[in-house]
Amino acid sequence: MPAKNTLKTYASDGFYHIYNRGVEKREIFIDVKDYRVFLNYIRTYLLPIENNDEDRTDFNEFKAPRLNTANNNFFGKINLICYCLMPNHFHMIIRQKNQSDMEYFMRSVLTKYVRYFNKRYKRVGPLFQSRYKAISILSEKYILNLSCYIHLNPIKIVGKDNLLNYQWSSYPAYVNDFQIEWLDKRFLSISYKKRSMSLYKTLKDFNSQLYSKIESFNMLIDR
């Protein structure tokens, strides 16, 4: 029987929580370069082809390996709502336009990254524990709670008061209101505004009850 959350039956115009971790819980991001390469692959696949000129970078003059995106571009097909990269796992919330867009997007990003990682560290074999997991998000309340959980992940590394200093998360872009061209902030921003809520205040004022509630998502990673 397939493991829970690995069956790939997806819906058009659906929101999904995507996550995966390293095989044997090993680190998949070892240094700054690894984080930047992973994000640059995402950026390259999500920006329009004409915006992916060779000299452009959003990562402090770092240039990740170039991709041939002429026949494999996801601009207008995938919206990245939020993300967080941790040393041995990652989380994303995405919205896909067509039924197979997410599968092709994740396959493209992860295949490229594994090839890069194995070449850099002179290793062979799988890097991730299994195929990525994808859970359908069916309510606005769930996506708001989930976005809190994803953005709270770095607490175990930087502490409660330093989330804004964690650069491998979309949280600073939301709170400081700066633009990342390949991050679609519209849905969360509108949802929080409708509820007269603030992502920053929600996380800043989180208490043990809220943390306990969203920490239950961690059990998904360990299955």
pLDDT at 216: 54
Q: Are 167 and 177 in contact (CB under 8 A)?
A: no
The domain spans of the chain are: 14-221
Q: Give pTM, 2 decimals.
A: 0.83
pLDDT at 52: 64
pLDDT at 9: 61
Sheet containing strand 133-137, strands side by side:
78-86, 89-96, 14-21, 133-137
Rounded to whole angstroms, the Cα distance separating 96 from 98 reads 6
| Residues 6 or more apart whose Cβ sits within 8 Å of residue 101 | 74, 77, 78
DSSP 97-164: SSTTHHHHHHHHHHHHHHHHHHHHTT--S--BSSSPEEEEE--HHHHHHHHHHHHHTTHHHH-GGGGG
| Residues 6 or more apart whose Cβ sits within 8 Å of residue 87 | 27, 28, 29, 30, 157
pLDDT at 61: 41
pLDDT at 11: 80
Residue numbers in the chain where pLDDT is lower than 50: 1-7, 54-62, 64-65, 69, 207-210, 214, 219-223
Where are the alpha helices (H) located in 12-120, listed in sequence order?
32-46, 101-120
pLDDT at 44: 93
pLDDT at 117: 97
Question: According to CATH, what is the number of the domain 14-221?
Answer: 3.30.70.1290
pLDDT at 59: 46
Picking from 24, 14, 210, 191, the residue whose alpha carbon sits closest to that of residue 94 is 14
